[in-house]
Chain A
Amino acid sequence: MFLSVDLATRLIDVLGALLLFTMLLILASGQLFRAIYAVAAQAAFLGVAGAVLAAATGNVDLWIIAAITIGAKAIFLPWLLLRVVRRVQISREIEAVIPMHVTLALAAAIVVLAFHLNASLGPVRQAITGNALPVGVTLILIGVLVMASRRKALVQMVGLFASENGIFFTAMAISQGMPLIIEIGVILDVVLGALVMGILVLRVRSSVDADIADLESLKG
């Protein structure tokens, strides 16, 4: 135990605020690269949060999870996304389907809702460090908002990863984290899913020269 519980809680709160801020940057970013860098930074903060919790609880598994998180989500996945972006050479401007001020207002509403929800919970809140639960809920929902408001495959992937960062944040902060093997399995799934999505994007780009998220021939 290198950290007192009180200090760990405060650090997690601060990291939660950083995650929220990076989420807003992803939501508002007008360029694909910015969104990718923002999600990488978010995953790095997530890794730091894992390390903080590991130091606070003395749980060795969390150190490993933090390291894997940084390796897979802060380095590998952004690298993969950047590679796909370079390969497909799409326009890098992000067009929003919903006007930006509406999305931002929705994001603010989501945060308020999540924190309000958290305040309504009973003694079980003790089992979760700091504000990890509302931050997790917020990240998931804003991630969905990103996916719904952008019609560009890679931005949708960024939104998905951001959502998953939220889940990991809450999972780490809940009673010493999930078992190591489960966390590893989940990260493996995330990476495999990202690879499959990358393959699909590249295949569509090579065969019909369009953004896969922009295809809408299947209806009704």
Chain B
Amino acid sequence: METAVAQAFRTAAQAALLVAAAPLVTGVVQKWKARLQCRRGASVVQPYRDLAKLLRKGTVQADTATPFFRAVPVLVLAATVTAAAMLPVLWAPAEGAALPLGDAILLVGLLALARFLLAIGALDAGGAFGGMGASREMTVGLLVEPALMLAVFSIAVAGGTTDVGLLAARRGSLAVAWQAPDLLALFAMLILALAETGRIPVDNPDTHLELTMLHEGMLLEHSGPGLACIVLATHVKQLVTLALVAALFLPLGLARGAAPAELALALAAFAAKVALLAGFLALVESSYAKLRFFRVPQFLGVGLVCAFLALALRVL
């Protein structure tokens, strides 16, 4: 039984690790994508450089924007980082933890909150592209969020808890207890991960072409440190999504104590899992074209139905 302080410290450490590593993951995906397309690509630390550059710049704001607009980037980042703190990265929590940190429903809710804040901010600035991006992003969110909940519930029913950390710990101790619903939930999560990380075929992270962008459209009015916050939040959200998939479906190699060897192993396992999923993202991005927007619901619909089936198969 660990104390509340130790648990809080552990949670903070994991969140810090996720935030620190998030731009690196984006860099790795971009690098692999470039390699798959036979380009050399930018260095994997390029996202850090971009962030540093943005932080040095000044802020310009639209005349129509309210003071709330200034608060949006910080709030988005805060919500996303809080979500990051919910995930088991290195440690598997013990049963009966002191603080209920790690509820999956809260995690999904925080991600939705970040999405909502971003959309509100984009509308607040009054730009046409911001409004369009927000509308599209919320359309996608409408399909992604319930599906995410269903997939998580499917795993939660099997694990008997909605705490992501406990789920990972319990499933990890069952070896790889893979059943049919897990497989369907995994497929659903992989489809949803593409949408949540804003990647092809749902969104294109590299484009600023007005007709095709979803997420980038909402960022147009932001600048300087504010933009840096949002970009960092985007990186973190991507890693949170991947870590969620890893925690639910590949719950292996989590440390139980604080021994350095165990921690090193856990870190290596986490890196391997994220690398695997990042490779998946890079592969999909390179081999598919972006869907026309009205085809996106069809694509996400498959994810939604898969998630629904995963839950239905578990219950029936």
Contacts and interface: CB of A to CB of B under 8 A. Distances in A.
Q: Do chains A and B touch in the complex (CB under 8 A)?
A: yes
A101 B187 contact: no
B179 A13 contact: yes
A20 B188 CA distance: 12
Interface stretch (B38-46, B133-141, B297-305): B297-305
Given A30-B295, A115-B316, A104 B180 contact: no
Contact of A21 (B295, B298, B306, B308): B306
B308 A108 contact: yes
A24 B295 CA distance: 15
Given A100-B301, A104-B305, A108-B309, A16 B316 contact: no
Given A100-B301, A111-B312, A112-B312, A24 B306 contact: yes
Interface in A70-123: 100-101, 104-105, 107-108, 111-112, 115-116, 118-119
A199 interface: no
Chain A interface size range: 20 to 34
Given A17-B184, A28-B302, A100 B312 contact: no
Interface in B167-225: 178-181, 183-184, 187
A169 to B, nearest CB: 13
Interface in A192-217: none
Contact of B302 (A16, A18, A24, A119): A24
B301 A25 contact: no
Contacts of B298: 28, 30, 100-101
B20 interface: no
Interface string A1-27: 000000000100110111011001100
A104 B304 contact: yes
Given A28-B302, A108-B312, A115-B316, A101 B180 contact: no
A116 B181 CA distance: 15
A108 B180 contact: no
Contacts of B181: 17
Residue in A17, A20, A105 whose Cβ sees the most chain B Cβ within 10 Å: A17
Contacts, number: 60
Contacts of B187: 21
A150 to B, nearest CB: 14
Contacts of B309: 20, 108, 111
B301 A17 contact: no
Contacts of A105: 305
A117 to B, nearest CB: 10
B313 interface: yes
Q: Give the dominant DSSP class at B's interface.
A: helix
Interface residues on B, range: 20 to 34
Contacts of B316: 112, 115-116, 118-119
Nearest to A16: B180
Which secondary structure dominates chain A's binding surface? helix
Given A21-B184, A115-B313, A101 B179 contact: no
A131 interface: yes
B297 to A, nearest CB: 7
B302 A25 contact: yes
Contacts of B295: 30
A127 to B, nearest CB: 19
A18 to B, nearest CB: 7
Contact of A18 (B179, B183, B299, B308): B183
B301 A28 contact: yes
Contacts of A131: 180, 313
Contacts of B306: 21, 24
A14 B312 contact: no
A10 B175 CA distance: 14
Interface in A114-148: 115-116, 118-119, 131
Contact of A104 (B178, B184, B302, B312): B302
B174 to A, nearest CB: 13
Interface of B: 178-181, 183-184, 187, 295, 297-299, 301-302, 304-306, 308-309, 312-313, 316
Given A17-B183, A101-B298, A115-B313, 9 more contacts: A14-B180, A17-B180, A17-B181, A30-B298, A101-B301, A104-B305, A107-B305, A108-B309, A116-B316
For the complex of A and B, 4 pairs with smallest distance between CB atoms = A17-B180, A13-B180, A115-B316, A17-B183
29 contacts: A14-B178, A14-B179, A14-B180, A17-B313, A18-B183, A20-B184, A20-B309, A21-B184, A21-B187, A21-B306, A24-B302, A24-B306, A25-B302, A28-B298, A28-B299, A28-B301, A28-B302, A30-B298, A100-B297, A100-B298, A104-B305, A105-B305, A107-B305, A108-B309, A112-B316, A115-B313, A115-B316, A119-B316, A131-B313
